[in-house]
């Protein structure tokens, strides 16, 4: 058993086998593995993206909520302000209305007083005149002193 040329033939055969494997066996295998690696990477990145999306939307929701709450607070504040304004206006209107009513009532009362005074004056004058008449009936004739009596009546 020595080195012989058969080894060369075997080496050639082996070289062809290696070439065949490199050409037709290895590439599909590596392709499959690369494909698999890619799918794994894609899946992981998709998951990561989903997580980020979720975070972003959560943040947006929080923002929206905060904004809505702020708006609500603003609206409430504005409404309170308006309500106060309305109440104030109403109070002012009521005050002036009251004052007007009071003034009117006072005017009417004054009028009544004046009228009562007139009536009273007339009655007092008539009483005085009738009194004076009763006193003076005997001494004065009413015709002769009528102008005097009228001037007294005017003085009241």
Partner 1 sequence: MASNASEYIKHHLTHWNSSTGFWSLHVDTFTVSLILGFVFVAVFATVARRARVENPGRLQLFVEMIFDMVDNQVKETFHGKSKVLAPMALTIFCWIFLMNAMDMLPVDFLPMIAQWIGHTAFGADPEHVFLRVVPSADVDATFAMSLSVLVCIIGFSITSKGLGGWGKELLTAPFHASGAVGTVILAPVNLLFQLVELVAKPISLSLRLFGNMYAGELIFILIALLPWQVQWILGAPWAIFHILIITLQAFVFMMLTIVYMSLAAENH
Q: Is 46 in the site for partner 1 (CB under 8 A)?
A: no
The pair of three-digit structure tokens given for residue 45, joined into one six-digit string = 């990145």
**According to the binding rule CB under 8 A, does residue 135 interact with partner 1?**
no
Nearest one of 128, 134, 130 to 155, comparing CA atoms:
128
C-beta closer to partner 1: residue 24 or 151: 24
In the complex, what is the shortest distance from the CB of residue 46 to partner 1, in angstroms, rounded to a whole number?
13
For partner 1, which stretch binds (CB under 8 A), given 22-30, 50-58, 71-79, 81-89?
22-30
What are phi and psi for residue 41, nearest 5 degrees? -60, -45
Question: Cα–Cα distance between 80 and 122 in angstroms, integer?
Answer: 62
Q: Which of 22, 29, 75, 83 binds partner 1 (CB under 8 A)?
A: 29
Residue 33 binds to partner 1 (criterion: CB under 8 A): yes
Rounded CA-CA distance 109/107 in Å is 5
Residues that bind partner 1 (rule: CB under 8 A) add up to a total of 29
Contact 105, 132 (CB under 8 A): no
In angstroms, the CA 87 to CA 93 distance is 10
Q: Is 2 in the site for partner 1 (CB under 8 A)?
A: yes
Interface residue list for partner 1 (CB under 8 A): 1-14, 16-17, 20-21, 25, 29-30, 32-34, 36-37, 40-41, 44
């Amino acid at each position: 058993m020595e080195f012989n040329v058969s080894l060369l033939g075997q080496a050639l055969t082996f070289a062809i086998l290696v070439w065949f494997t490199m050409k037709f066996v290895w590439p599909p295998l590596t392709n499959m593995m690369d494909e698999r690696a890619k799918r794994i990477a894609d899946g992981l990145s998709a998951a990561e993206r989903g997580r980020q999306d979720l975070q972003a939307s959560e943040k947006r929701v929080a923002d929206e909520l905060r904004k809505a709450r702020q708006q609500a607070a603003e609206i409430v504040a504005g409404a309170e302000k308006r309500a106060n304004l309305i109440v104030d206006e109403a109070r002012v209107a009521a005050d002036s209305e009251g004052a007007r009513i009071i003034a009117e009532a006072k005017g009417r009362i004054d009028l009544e007083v004046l009228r009562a005074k007139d009536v009273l004056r007339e009655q007092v004058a008539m009483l005085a005149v009738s009194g004076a008449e009763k006193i003076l009936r005997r001494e004065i004739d009413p015709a002769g002193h009528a102008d005097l009596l009228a001037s007294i009546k005017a003085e009241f």
